[in-house]
Amino acid sequence: MKFLDQAKIYVRSGDGGDGVVAFRREKYIEFGGPDGGDGGRGGHIYFRAVSNLNTLIDFRYTQHFRARKGGNGAGSNRTGAGADDIIIDVPIGTQIIADDRETLLADLNEDGKTVLLCQGGNGGLGNAHYKSSTNRAPRRADSGYPGEERWIWLRLKLIADVGLVGLPNAGKSTLLSVASRARPKIADYPFTTLHPQLGVVRLNAVDEFVIADIPGLIEGASEGTGLGDRFLGHVERCALLIHLVDGTDENLAENWKLIRRELHAYNDTLAAKPEVLVMNKCDALLPEEIEERKAALAQVSGQDVHLLSGVSREGLPELLRFVQDRVTLARQQEK
């Protein structure tokens, strides 16, 4: 199934049914009277977050959603039937944004969360509603009220505890594959990851967290270079970021600065998230090279540097336990 995280769709709720003008003609009622019923309500448009979806690909092929009109009223004070509502299922983490692409209308970040986006129009009143002591035979009935319509954007932001960031070929997909059962594409050329990947890391029967891998960033990503920074939205909900740096690159300190600049250019809130700095591919370095580059990276970043080899898995258990402790602490603070 192809991954799609943005879609533009049109939604319209149903119009209300029309009221009617009708009069009784009964044998034993001397003067009869008005008995026109009201129109029924038009259908609502709801959005609901469900757990069995992880992409917006369905909205590429179905882009228009229209609820039905309410039924018209009838004689004998019969009200028109209300139209059925339309419930649109979306993945958990979907945001509903107005056509201006800035105004957030709803954030469906919990399983089963449901929002009413477009309300169906009310039915018009029949002439029975207007009878009075001075107006015994009203001939007025109202048309149904129109529903609401709008173009909206759906944007999916994956729900994950930890996000992986770094340059292409820093080893993010390899880390995801050895830490979880996810099987992302891995190759020795850049941009093998073309869309976000999720994996569940289970340390034991109790401790687990969700990790998200996004396509690599390069210089100018905030301006659209490479794959751009479009996919950074998928790590905005994360409690912390794992910043992977290729230890075999002599310019690893400058690479760290480059990614930090792109994060700040995208969103200061994202850049302010806690970061776990990891120097990867240590299996390809000599011990003295590891110490030298670790010290250089720690000096420029002001952080502790974790050592890792995604291939040999050296340093992986310690890293995952450290991340799990940080995630657990973040969850407790959120509660």
**Is residue 136 very low, low, confident or very high in pLDDT (cuts 50, 70, 90)?**
confident
Query: Is pLDDT above 70 for 18?
Result: yes
String of b and e for 79-112 (b: at least 16 CB within 10 Å)?
bbebbebbebebbbbbbbbeeeeeeeebbbeeee
280-308 residue pLDDT tens:
999 888 999 999 999 999 999 999 999 99
Tell me which residue of 160, 162, 184, 155 sits closest to 91, measured CA to CA: 155
230-260 residue pLDDT tens:
778 888 888 899 999 998 888 888 999 999 9
Query: What does each C-alpha distance from 203 to 207, 208, 320 come to in angstroms?
Result: 6, 6, 8
Strongest mean pLDDT among 85-89, 161-165, 238-242: 85-89
- Which three-class secondary structure string do you get for the chain? CCCCCEEEEEEECCCCCCCCCCEECCCCCCCCEECCCCCCCCCCEEEEEECCCCCCCHHHHCCEEECCCCCCCECCCECCCCCCCEEEEEECCEEEEECCCCCEEEEECCCCCEEEEECCCCCCCCHHHHCCCCCCCCCCCCCCCCCCEEEEEEEECCCCCEEEEECCCCCHHHHHHHHCCCCCCCCCCCCCCCCCEEEEEECCCCCEEEEEECCCCCCCHHHCCCCCCHHHHHHCCCCEEEEEEECCCCCHHHHHHHHHHHHHHHCHHHHCCCEEEEEECHHHCCHHHHHHHHHHHHHHHCCCEEECCCCCCCCHHHHHHHHHHHHHHHHHHHC
Query: Is pLDDT above 60 for 1?
Result: no
Q: Is there a binding annotation on residue 114?
A: no
Query: Is pLDDT above 90 for 116?
Result: yes
Q: How buried is 219 (Cβ within 10 angstroms: 0-12 exposed, 13-18 middle, 19+ buried)?
A: middle
Amino acid 333: pLDDT: 83
Residue 224, number of CB atoms within 10 A of its CB: 10
Q: Is there a binding annotation on residue 272?
A: no
Q: Is there a binding annotation on residue 124?
A: no
Q: Is there a binding annotation on residue 280?
A: yes
**Is residue 169 very low, low, confident or very high in pLDDT (cuts 50, 70, 90)?**
confident
More confident residue, 35 or 187: 35
For residues 152-163, average pLDDT: 90
Q: Is there a binding annotation on residue 128?
A: no
**Is residue 44 very low, low, confident or very high in pLDDT (cuts 50, 70, 90)?**
very high
Q: Is there a binding annotation on residue 166?
A: yes
Lowest mean pLDDT among 68-77, 80-89, 121-130, 189-198: 189-198
Q: Is there a binding annotation on residue 252?
A: no
Q: Is there a binding annotation on residue 310?
A: yes
Q: Is there a binding annotation on residue 213?
A: yes
Query: Is pLDDT above 90 for 223?
Result: no
Phi, psi of 214 (to 5 degrees): -120, 160
* DSSP β-ladder status, 94-98 and 149-156: antiparallel
% of residues, the chain, pLDDT over 90:
50
% of residues, the chain, pLDDT over 70:
95
Amino acid 228: pLDDT: 63
Pick 6-156's CATH classification: 3.40.30.10, 3.40.47.10, 3.40.630.40, 2.70.210.12. 2.70.210.12
Q: Is there a binding annotation on residue 169?
A: yes
Query: Is pLDDT above 70 for 187?
Result: no
**Is residue 41 very low, low, confident or very high in pLDDT (cuts 50, 70, 90)?**
very high
* DSSP β-ladder status, 162-166 and 208-213: parallel
Q: Is there a binding annotation on residue 192?
A: yes
Q: Is there a binding annotation on residue 167?
A: yes
Q: Is there a binding annotation on residue 191?
A: yes
Tell me which residue of 47, 40, 147, 112 sits closest to 83, measured CA to CA: 40
Q: Is there a binding annotation on residue 215?
A: yes
Q: Is there a binding annotation on residue 170?
A: yes
For residues 206-225, average pLDDT: 80
Structural contact between residues 63 and 8, judged by C-beta atoms closer than 8 angstroms? yes
> In the chain, where are the structural domains located?
6-156, 162-334
Q: Is there a binding annotation on residue 317?
A: no
**Is 162-334 CATH 1.10.3720.10?**
no
More confident residue, 283 or 192: 283
